[in-house]
Amino acid sequence: MADSLTDVARALSVSPATLRRWVAEGIVPLRDGRWTPAALAQARIVARMRSRGHSLEQVRTAAKTGRLAYGYLEHLFPDRGGAARTLEQAVDETGMEAELIRRIWAAAGFPAASLAALSEDDVELLRRFGAVLDAGLPLVAFLQIVRVYGQALAQIADAEVKLVHLYVHEPMIRDGAPVLDMAEELSDLASELLPLAGPIMESVHTRLLHHFIEQDVVGHLEVVADEAALGRMRVAIAFADLAGYTRLTEEVGEEEALEVVERFVELVTETLPDDARVIKTIGDEVMVVGTDLGALADWAVGFQTMQTERPLPRIGLHAGSVLYRDGDYYGRAVNLASRVAARATGGEVLVTREVRSAAGRHLVFQPIGEVKLKGFDEATELFLAAQR
């Protein structure tokens, strides 16, 4: 580790005078005058911000309030290894074609420019990608899996950073904690948490993989021949949202309204039948997909009977053949289910004839007629579902 001002200045490509000024102004605080790993990390992030055009005043304010404390975490991430390789060198080392590497890299969500300087870890990742393809997984399926991995892990990493910032870092800033104390506490926390992230994700992934393999076995028994085309499957689809959510936001404010949405999504997730799962949330809207149409209809009606506080949910159900891509579901059946939900009012479960025909006799279905839904040329027959 560099242990003098001159060494640090050389490592960061700044002049000793500049570095001396940063120390004098408290932009880079030292511990007893020593260049600790924390101080070096702070200087590195300050240099990076200045090179990106941030003014010295902006950097000074951020540094003195502790908002650059994340820079101290850089030492927790090891050097990714070895001299940088070009794309051409990666082709030679992995035996993969350059165009294939570009497609995989893009699917994972990595910037194309980063292919110009690949680390040893990057090349090893490419080897593992190649091993999956060599095992026989079709390229179209492999690219979708990589895309889902990239999107899911980007969301995880983003959440990890933002939630620690909101619930750990920001409270320290508001309490006026000394910058070095703040940085070292964040560093200690990250040192404890980072080694746990991989094993936790692996365990969760294994558990969920086992669950979905079981569900897929059941699903194969229910595939209809004309819906067994490549990439298509038959599923039950539900959309649920909170009627009057926009008005609620105006009445109680965004933070309280968001807490209502979080409780709603949590309750949906906790009460779903085993074969169903939340595919995505968009604002206060939740999309659910399952393989057992009857069970999903039972859930929707039962879920509504649990609701006592406004805004009340509204739910729409449909079933049909959908296109599966990148962990999501597309097609006419999905769009129809969404439109059905939009026609419901708070506390209602609206369903199509496909749902009525498959649901159990313990439910009653009140016809409300054929309804022209937005985006569909033909009217759709809808029913109001309730318990008998």
Evaluate whether 39 touches 29 at the Cβ level (below 8 Å): yes
Evaluate whether 1 touches 40 at the Cβ level (below 8 Å): yes
Evaluate whether 5 touches 16 at the Cβ level (below 8 Å): yes
269 in the same domain as 137 = no
**Which positions ≥6 away from 53 have C-beta within 8 Å?**
none
206 in the same domain as 112 = yes
238 in the same domain as 153 = no
**79 inside domain:** no
Mean pLDDT in consecutive groups of 10 residues from the start of the chain, 388 residues: 74 88 85 78 82 84 76 61 83 95 92 90 94 93 91 87 83 81 79 87 89 65 50 88 85 85 90 90 91 91 89 93 87 94 93 87 89 89 90
pLDDT at 236: 93
252 in the same domain as 208 = no
Evaluate whether 317 touches 300 at the Cβ level (below 8 Å): yes
Q: Quote the strand ranges of 181-290, DSSP E.
A: 232-242, 277-282, 285-290
Q: Tell me which of 167, 198, 216 is where a domain ends.
A: 216
297 in the same domain as 368 = yes
187 in the same domain as 91 = yes
The structural domain count of the chain equals 3
DSSP 256-286: HHHHHHHHHHHHHHHHS-TT-EEEEEETTEE
115 in the same domain as 194 = yes
pTM over 0.95? The answer is no
pLDDT at 245: 80
**168 inside domain:** yes
Q: Tell me which of 216, 236, 264 is where a domain ends.
A: 216
376 in the same domain as 242 = yes
pLDDT at 1: 45
**346 inside domain:** yes
Q: Tell me which of 190, 216, 242 is where a domain ends.
A: 216
Backbone angles phi, psi at 204, to 5 degrees: -65, -45
pLDDT at 80: 58
**Which positions ≥6 away from 38 have C-beta within 8 Å?**
31, 72, 180, 183, 184, 187
Using only C-alpha atoms, what is the Rg of the chain? 27
Evaluate whether 342 touches 316 at the Cβ level (below 8 Å): yes
Alpha helix (H) residue ranges in 65-178: 87-94, 98-108, 120-134, 139-164, 170-175
228 in the same domain as 364 = yes
**154 inside domain:** yes
* Rounded-to-integer distance, Cα 265 and Cα 272, Å: 11
Q: Which domain range does residue 147 map to?
A: 87-216
142 in the same domain as 195 = yes
pLDDT at 77: 65
pLDDT at 286: 94
* Rounded-to-integer distance, Cα 38 and Cα 42, Å: 6
**48 inside domain:** yes
pLDDT at 160: 86
pLDDT at 382: 94
367 in the same domain as 267 = yes
